[in-house]
Amino acid sequence: MNKIITISREFGSGGRELGRRIADMLQIAYYDQEIINELAKRTSYTKGYLEQIEESNFIPLLPITIGRTFSSQFYQAMEPNQSAFLKQNTIIKEMAEKSDCVIVGRCADYLLSDKKPLRIFVYADMAFKIARCLKKSELTERLTDDELRQKIKSIDKHRAKYYQFHTGQTWGEKSFYDLCINTTSIEIKDISATVTNMIQQYGKGGW
């Protein structure tokens, strides 16, 4: 069975960079934007549309038992989201079958639970996330600190709802992860080396 590392992360915490560095150090595959690129190839959706679904406010499908109170247009509007999600799941499973890899986000920790992935959750203090977003230009708009704070909260709220809807679990709940990392005031490159070394040692035990 391939060795899989999944990265769940708060926006601005550096989780994506951490995952990339770990993959590079371990010399294994890294999947993030690559998943969207492959999904765009297999569907009629553009990458821009898929990214919009991924980061826009999530409106969950309601239980079928109360569906009669809503018009068919509501469900037709939601169908692309569900269709894209199911196709994305297939791609993630295929990627996990190919080789050892790091996969960022997209409920991969839950989706690949049968493969016993090493599940990492990355978080940080708000002040650090704001500073990192400004430094890395993760948000292209020119925002004040207060506006950026609200933007970060909104994105993380969306991720939490998306994760809970598709997994039935609480995003960020420590009991669902093998390693929770607070990156506040820590250089990502430094913690990447520490985590990679830990992973290599952990690997000797069977992972």
User: Which pLDDT tens digit goes with each residue over 51-67?
Assistant: 665 655 444 443 433 34
Higher pLDDT, 111 or 69: 111
Higher pLDDT, 109 or 41: 109
Q: Output the pLDDT for position 154.
A: 93
**Measured between alpha carbons, how far is 153 from 131 in angstroms, rounded to an integer?**
14
Q: Output the pLDDT for position 46.
A: 64
Q: Output the pLDDT for position 60.
A: 46
Q: Output the pLDDT for position 75.
A: 39
Which one-letter amino acid corresponds to residue 89? N
Higher pLDDT, 81 or 101: 101
* Position 85 pLDDT exceeds 70: yes
**Measured between alpha carbons, how far is 104 from 100 in angstroms, rounded to an integer?**
14
Q: Output the pLDDT for position 47.
A: 62
Band (pLDDT 50/70/90 cuts) for residue 180 is very high
3-state secondary structure at position 19: helix
* 175, two tokens: 């009991």
* Position 145 pLDDT exceeds 90: no
Classify each residue of 148-164 as buried b or exposed e, where b means 16 or more C-beta atoms within 10 Å of its C-beta: bbebbeebbebbeebbb
